[in-house]
Structure 1
């Protein structure tokens, strides 16, 4: 009897060990999640999620997007944001403009995405002050929903400023007088067009910080507050 109990215990231990090793192999398998800091995308590893490959192309468009990123075990090996995660500003501008023209009373929209601002010039048939305010609020919120939260968004329904927005598109992050050119256009946009409601109690309609504890960089970006104080 005692020999049988010992044999059963040894067999159980062997099974548990095998199971643990199996789970470890699955978790660390390069075919699932690499420990090199690589990303696994659902569509890149379809065998894991769709072994029967039954989805057609139209069905794929309805799928959820899934990504798992595993932290690299190599110390100080950071993600290269410039190459891997740099935002394609033209694609972002296109995405924003595509959504904007679906808004009632917005018939076309020119969108410029810079280092930290989104400038939108749009044409609307809204005429009175209240309607213009509501359209501006929708346009502003739409742009904010697409870009990273720290971007500031400025809008105008003055179609004469559309060319000014387009002119800045020929500049880039290294262009001389970039800041002054953008600043001048933002000033005209703020003075000629409504900007909608403030984002929250700590941010004005353009997403600029309005508390007294802002740092120098934030202060330089707050065109609205500087203009109101006569410093723009």
Structure 2
């Protein structure tokens, strides 16, 4: 009987010591060393709100050709045109002098209406607007800009249309022709785009 009590005491004491050691290790894990070797309580990183967390994340994908062929057969590339329009407008408004911008993105065109900045020449403002769009969209798009006040109304008239709407093509062509009467800036962006690349870039979009 005494032997059993002795064995039990040893086991209980060992478990207690192990528990203390675990607790001490857990406590030490919550502390870090300062530069002078002294202990410093560990501080949890500041929690980000959902919007900050989403905007801070990086985007990464990796495929090989075989995986792409297997997974993407008979699929088309989807484009969020509204997101493109939103991004272009926001970026352009970050330039000094631009206080109002409207952007319409179709399947092949980007139409941008903006107020004419007071301290920027019209041609330069048009170049800034076009360069902003080309920094966001795929290279096969054509960009048209206008500082004419009526262009805001013209672009807005198509906001609820689709590429399948009646008279869509005719209305779009008419708006573009009117926008081209405003300065379009220099042509350096389009000159730098290889024409052969434009012809061979195959993108399919749908609503």
TM-score bracket for this pair, using the shorter chain length: 0.5 to 0.7
Alignment of 1:152-231 (within 5 A): 152-191=142-181, 193-199=182-188, 202=191
Which among 46, 59, 63 is matched to residue 65 of structure 1? 59
Which among 119, 131, 154 is matched to residue 141 of structure 1? 131
Native 8 Å contact 2:131 2:189 kept in 1? no
Native 8 Å contact 1:126 1:135 kept in 2? no
TM-score (ref. length: structure 1):
0.56
Which among 72, 86, 92 is matched to residue 94 of structure 1? 86
Larger Rg: 2
What is the deviation of 1:176? 2.1
SS at match of 1:68: coil
RMSD: 3.2
**In 1, distance between residues paired with 2:159 and 2:126?**
22
What residue number does 1:21 align with?
Answer: none
SS at match of 2:99: strand
Which string of whole-angstrom CA distances, capped at 9 and with x for unpartnered residues, describes residues 117-163 of structure 1? 00011112337xx7111111001110111111100000000012211
What is the deviation of 1:183? 1.0
The structure-2 alpha-carbon separation of the partners of 1:71 and 1:55, relative to structure 1 and needing over 3 Å to count, comes to farther
**In 2, distance between residues paired with 1:140 and 1:201?**
10
Q: How many residues are treated as equivalent by the alignment? A: 152
Native 8 Å contact 1:105 1:135 kept in 2? no
SS at match of 1:57: coil
Which string of whole-angstrom CA distances, capped at 9 and with x for unpartnered residues, describes residues 178-232 of structure 1? 22111111111111x11111135747xxx896x9xx98xxxxxxxxxxxxxxxxx
Which among 80, 89, 110 is matched to residue 118 of structure 1? 110
Unaligned segments of structure 2, at least 5 residues: 1-43, 200-207
SS at match of 2:185: coil
**In 2, distance between residues paired with 1:92 and 1:74?**
25
Native 8 Å contact 1:101 1:108 kept in 2? yes
Q: Which has the higher contact order (CA 8 A, sep 6+)?
A: 2
What is the deviation of 1:76? 6.1
Native 8 Å contact 1:152 1:208 kept in 2? no
